[in-house]
Amino acid sequence: MPQDEYSLKHKLYVIIFRTDTPFGRWFDIGLILSILGSLLVLIMGSMESINEKYASSLQVLEILFTVLFTIEYLLRLYCSPKPWAYAKSFYGFVDLIAILPFYLALLIPNAHFLGVVRLLRIMRIFRILKLVQYIQDSNIIMRSLWNSRRKIFVFFSMVAILVTIFGALLYVIEGPDNGFTSIPTSIYWAIVTITTVGYGDISPVTTLGRAIASLTMLLGYSILAVPTGIITAEMSQEVKQQKKTYQNHRLLVMCPNCMKNDHEPDAFHCKHCGSELPSHEERVVKVNDTPSDYD
């Protein structure tokens, strides 16, 4: 049952959740600018040389942005036709954790810097700019990762077992005197080594330790190929499938409330939360063909 078209609640909904009215567009652009602004304030606040001079103004701005985002979140909850579906959706969750760090900072010092998670909200930018191709490509990447989640889990279980065993081995061989102060520290070393990061803050000194470390590296070297194999296989399948379903624009119809985008072309309501979907006129977005030439 559609809401009263002329109620304040519905007007707010159209402005905040949808992008097909001038007000809605301006709201989204203002939101993104606020997010970028608040990020800049956070980052500048963390730089001592800047913070020394402008500490008080930065703090005022930070409070201002947090109040703004808190009001926005409450408004979203108020005017959403399905508040719970919104709150549970990915963007609803991100909108919440974007304001929490500020209140957390009352308990833990510096915790407000975690407010950088509001960067995740910027992903809505794809919606505003109607960057359909980008959404599709991002869907391919996400779906590839999702489809290979079990293989990646199995792979990481293997890695976890390997780093624990090699970590303990080097703890026994090298010992606390050479920097391997405990098994957790040695596991940290093993992860740094097997992922080929190699800080060098902890590194083996004894000949036996170096031999085992070399083995760890060569092992890391060859298992590096496993996730690549997994994801490459998935991705080439996804690319093939994309080519097939390119015509029917299924991915382009996005629910403004929970932002899921897998609706049938003839759907009027979101199959996930039941909100109204954009009208047909609005939802048809011209898909730019991939140019076959690059200059």
| Binding-residue total with a copy of itself (CB under 8 A) | 101
Binders of a copy of itself in range 31-70 (CB under 8 A): 39, 42-43, 46-48
Distance CA 133, CA 217 (A): 39
- Per CB under 8 A, does 218 bind a copy of itself? yes
Looking at beta carbons only, is 12 or 183 nearer to a copy of itself? Answer: 183
Q: Copy the structure tokens of residue 227.
A: 């996730």
Looking at beta carbons only, is 56 or 228 nearer to a copy of itself? Answer: 228
Neighbours of 59 (CB within 10 A): 14
Q: Quick one: which of 111, 128, 285, 287 contacts a copy of itself (CB under 8 A)?
A: 111
**Least Cβ distance, residue 203 to a copy of itself (angstroms):** 4
**Least Cβ distance, residue 15 to a copy of itself (angstroms):** 26
Binders of a copy of itself in range 7-26 (CB under 8 A): none
Binders of a copy of itself in range 166-195 (CB under 8 A): 167-169, 171-172, 175-176, 181-188, 191-193, 195
Q: Copy the structure tokens of residue 32.
A: 């993104």
In sequence order, the β-bridge partners of residue 276 are 269
Q: Quick one: which of 24, 220, 256, 278 contacts a copy of itself (CB under 8 A)?
A: 220
Binders of a copy of itself in range 230-259 (CB under 8 A): 230-236, 239
Q: What is the DSSP letter of 245?
A: T
Looking at beta carbons only, is 69 or 79 nearer to a copy of itself? Answer: 69
**Least Cβ distance, residue 265 to a copy of itself (angstroms):** 16
Distance CA 185, CA 174 (A): 12
Q: Quick one: which of 22, 56, 106, 207 contacts a copy of itself (CB under 8 A)?
A: 207
In what helix (H) or strand (E) does residue 54 lie, and over which residues does it extend?
Answer: helix 48-79
Cβ–Cβ under 8 Å, residues 25 and 15:
no
**Among 197, 273, 285, 225, which Cα is nearest to 249's?**
285
Q: Copy the structure tokens of residue 58.
A: 């930065």
Among 14-22, 60-68, 200-208, 278-286, which window interacts with a copy of itself (CB under 8 A)?
200-208
**Least Cβ distance, residue 157 to a copy of itself (angstroms):** 8
Q: Quick one: which of 110, 245, 248, 279 contacts a copy of itself (CB under 8 A)?
A: 110
Q: For residue 269, give the 3-state DSSP assignment.
A: strand
Binders of a copy of itself in range 260-289 (CB under 8 A): 260, 262, 272
In sequence order, the β-bridge partners of residue 269 are 276
Q: Copy the structure tokens of residue 161.
A: 């077992």
**Least Cβ distance, residue 17 to a copy of itself (angstroms):** 18
Helical packing angle, 90-97 and 48-79, nearest 10° = 140
Using alpha carbons, list the distances in angstroms from residue 126 to 29, 38, 77, 133. 12, 20, 22, 10
**Among 97, 124, 100, 114, which Cα is nearest to 42's?**
114
Hey, what long-range contacts does 107-112 have (CB within 8 A, 24 or more apart)?
112/42, 112/62
Binders of a copy of itself in range 67-96 (CB under 8 A): 90
**Least Cβ distance, residue 140 to a copy of itself (angstroms):** 7
**Least Cβ distance, residue 91 to a copy of itself (angstroms):** 12
Q: Quick one: which of 29, 36, 55, 117 contacts a copy of itself (CB under 8 A)?
A: 117
